[in-house]
Structure 1
Amino acid sequence: MGLSSLNHLYREVVLDHSQHPRHHGALPAATDHLELRNPTCGDVIDVQAQIKDGVITDLAFDGSGCTISQASASMMTTVLIGQPVDHARELILNFSNLITGKEIDAKMEDELEDAAVIGSVAEFPTRIKCAALAWHALDELLDKKGAAAKDD
């Protein structure tokens, strides 16, 4: 695929997720939530998750921010709903690697679906935090959830 076509696809996918975010708003049955802020550009994301028997059964986000942060959060929800927590954490790590310019396995890139397209933010270091915000929030939430489960 040519660079021009790839840029067009990127804009199309990011704008679609930003203008029509999936799983945006409150998740009434959330078992956990975590809010993070990006002080650099003012993005605020509250990630809400419903986790049952080690599986992310539902996921939503609320908040406000730039096009990239909102689109990335939307993409995250579509990729991670229904995933076992361990695999979700693996996908989060691979997304992080992708947006920081590291190579990832082709299978993981396929599993990231639309979120793989946003990997080109690696070329724009100031936008990496925007793309990573929701994913980082969910990773922290899962960290805390794991620690809480071990305390029980």
Structure 2
Amino acid sequence: MLPDALSRQIIADHQRRPRHTGPLNGVAGVTLDNPGCGDQVTVWADVQDGRIGHLTFSGKGCAISQSSASLMTVALTGRTVPEARALAGQFRAMVMGEEPGSPQLGDLLALAGVSRLHARRRCALLAWRALEQTLGDSSDPA
């Protein structure tokens, strides 16, 4: 787990300057809402030969939902679909408080504290749920 001050800095940075934003031409996106707090996110994933070549998002909402989406695009771009699904599983387990965060999560560890904030878990996982739907039933096992 990262120190609280560093976690807050990473979250604020990704909220203010989100990475990998905007639609991808020719790629269908998946939009999900979190009606409880008004978050919305759309995720686009361009998968070529089993690898995520481009991963982008757009959205509106709280700092946690938007920084989680931005951090996700940074962490998963360039990974194979099985690698992305494995990292997504580790992230989900950390956010749900089922497992401590692993060093493999890198800056995603900034969101480890969300596990103590039950109402915010859905915010942190919104973009990840959209990604899951975007990847669909890819033939790459995870």
TM-score w.r.t. structure 2 length?
0.91
Structure showing greater Rg: 1
Map of 2:7 onto structure 1: 10
Mind listing any 5+ residue stretches in structure 1 that lack a counterpart?
A: none
Map of 2:24 onto structure 1: 27
Aligned length: 140
Q: Which has the higher helix share?
A: 1
In structure 1, what is the Cα distance between the partners aligned to 2:57 and 2:29?
9
Map of 2:124 onto structure 1: 131
Q: Deviations over 1:37-65 (max 9, x none)?
A: 10111111000011000000000001211
Q: Deviations over 1:89-124 (max 9, x none)?
A: 1111110000011225x7xx2222111220110010
**Larger RCO, structures 1/2 (Cα 8 Å, 6+ apart):** 2
Q: Any conservation in 1 of the 2:23–2:29 contact (CA below 8 Å)?
A: no
Q: Deviations over 1:60-104 (max 9, x none)?
A: 001211110000000000000001001101111110000011225
2:33 aligned with 1:57, yes or no?
Answer: no
In structure 2, what is the Cα distance between the partners aligned to 1:119 and 1:100?
9
Map of 1:101 onto structure 2: 97
In structure 2, what is the Cα distance between the partners aligned to 1:63 and 1:71?
10
Q: Deviations over 1:116-146 (max 9, x none)?
A: 220110010000000000011101221x242
TM-score w.r.t. structure 1 length?
0.85
**Identical-pair percentage:** 39
Alignment map for 1:63-82 (pairs within 5 Å): 63-82=59-78
Shift of 1:29: 4.9
Q: Any conservation in 2 of the 1:79–1:111 contact (CA below 8 Å)?
A: no
What is the aligned counterpart of 1:45 among 33, 41, 44? 41
| Amino acid aligned to 2:94 | L
Cα RMSD (Å): 1.9
Mind listing any 5+ residue stretches in structure 2 that lack a counterpart?
A: none
In structure 2, what is the Cα distance between the partners aligned to 1:87 and 1:44?
25
